[in-house]
Amino acid sequence: MYRKISSVWISLLILFGGEIHVGAYLGISWGRMATQKLVPSMIVDLLLQNGISELRLFQPSFHVLDAFADTNIGLIVTLQENYLKNVVEQKQLDDYIHERIKVYSEKGVKFRYVYVGNEPFTKSLYMKKQFNGTIRYLNMTREALDKFNLPDVKATTPHFTDVLTNVSKPSEGDFREDIKGKMLEFLDCINRTGAPFVIHMFPIFTVYTYGFDVDFAFFNNKSKFKIVDGNNTYTNLFTFMYDTLVSALAKAGYGDMEIIVGQIGWPTDGYVSANEKNAEKFNRGLLQYIARKEGTPLRPNRDINMYLLSLTDENLVVTDYGPYQRHWGVYKHDGVPKYKIDFTLQNRDVKPSVAKGTTYVELRDHLDNFLGFI
């Protein structure tokens, strides 16, 4: 798998002639709940222009998958809960995996992960909808992938950091008591099938929830605030959050489990300190941190693979949690970049290129998405 990623970087290197780091990758997610959408072929161009080799999609739509054939861009697709809840027997899932993953693999789409649902154990609003079937559907998805001989496509489910208890230092990290049984079942399942633990983390929320100095959320060493934990000192929130998860996994018996940061970012509106200046600052620090490959005190000198949230704003996303949900994009929903970011991890002072090729989409076409978006 890592060899394949390297070859993407190498081909980008040839394409752009730049000095590109091999190893850790930075992906991005692309949601399509906007009145103006970039057409999939433009997205492919945009990713290639920006040197982004990995993309997370929220739905495996046929016409989107078509655009990724033979592109070498690694894809994550999500099986949405509104789809899964109608699955009663294995055959349905087999057919779905066949038509969307197997057939497209044969057309040269490079699938990395299939997400089965999204943040099922999260505590806040969605508690009421807590998704009971996650592990069963995870099992069924794995079975279908195996049936079609797709052992390298891993099935997992992403979680939000609120699956963890609140801590004062990372070594206290543990999973919430009310979900611990389910989480252990889940961990057994992904460990058995060699899938990673995917965490969605949002330092902008955690820094305020915990009442930390906001500078602690950036990676610029401006904060005087530190957290000392035994022999380890934490100077930024990301490493604090990451090692809290590492500790929780270790207590559950999975100290070496691979972790992927499935969503991380900084919105530009709709939340305290959410603006373009801070988003640029956060991403600049984060990308330099990835490039330095320093890892965290509990996992030093390691690559950490991450997916930024997100490529474009989505002006039709439901805002159950808050208005910031529509403002995660590096690009506005019409394809204009908001701030500077160098996806090639070289810290150049560049704005991404303007995207061409947006199409206006009728509101009624989004009804399915509205019902399904979790």
Residues forming the site for ligand NAG (CB under 6 A): 132, 135-136, 139, 165-166, 176, 189, 191, 209, 219, 221, 230-231, 235, 253-254
Which residue lies nearer to ligand NAG by CB, 139 or 268? Answer: 139
Least Å distance between CB 48 and ligand NAG?
29
Burial of 367: CB neighbours in 10 Å, binned 0-12, 13-18, 19+: exposed
CB half-sphere exposure, 60, CA atoms < 13 A: 26
How far apart CA 199 and CA 242 sit, in angstroms, is 9
Non-local CB neighbours of 124 within 8 Å, separated by 6+ positions: 162, 321
Nearest to 138 by CA among 193, 82, 77, 83: 193
Nearest Cα residue to 54 out of 314, 339, 368, 308: 308
Q: Which is nearer to ligand NAG, 44 or 187 (CB)?
A: 187
Count of H helices and E strands in the chain?
A: 12, 13
Structure tokens at 141: 């998805």
DSSP for 49-87? HHT--EEEESS--HHHHHHTTTS--EEEEEE-HHHHTT-
Q: Using alpha carbons only, how large is the chain's radius of gyration in Å? A: 20
Q: 82, 34, 39, 38: which is closest to 59 by C-alpha?
A: 82
Closest CB to ligand NAG among residues 55, 138: 138
Nearest approach, Cβ of residue 219 and ligand NAG (Å): 6
- Please state the closest distance from residue 135 (CB atom) to ligand NAG, in A: 4
User: Active site includes 119?
Assistant: yes
- Let me know how long the chain is: 374
Q: How far is CA 352 from the centre of its chain?
A: 20
Nearer residue to ligand NAG within complex by CB, 73 or 198: 198
Report the residue number, 10 or 272, with the smaller CB distance to ligand NAG: 272
Q: How far is the CB of 16 from ligand NAG (least distance, A)?
A: 25
Residue closer to ligand NAG, measured from CB, 35 or 165: 165
**Distance from C-alpha of 232 to C-alpha of 245, rounded to nearest angstrom:** 15
Residues whose CB is less than 8 angstroms from the CB of residue 61 and which lie 6 or more positions away in sequence, other chains included: none
Considering the complex, what minimum distance in angstroms separates the CB of residue 349 from ligand NAG? 16
Alpha-carbon gap, residue 94 to 148, rounded angstroms: 9
Q: Report residue 290 as tokens.
A: 């990835």
Count CA atoms within 13 Å of residue 299 on its CB side: 23
**Closest distance of CB 272 from ligand NAG, Å:** 15
List 119, 143, 276, 314, catalytic entry: 119
Please, what is the minimum distance in Å from the beta carbon of residue 59 to ligand NAG? 24
How far apart are alpha carbons 216 and 109 in whole angstroms? Answer: 39
Task: State the catalytic residues.
Answer: 119
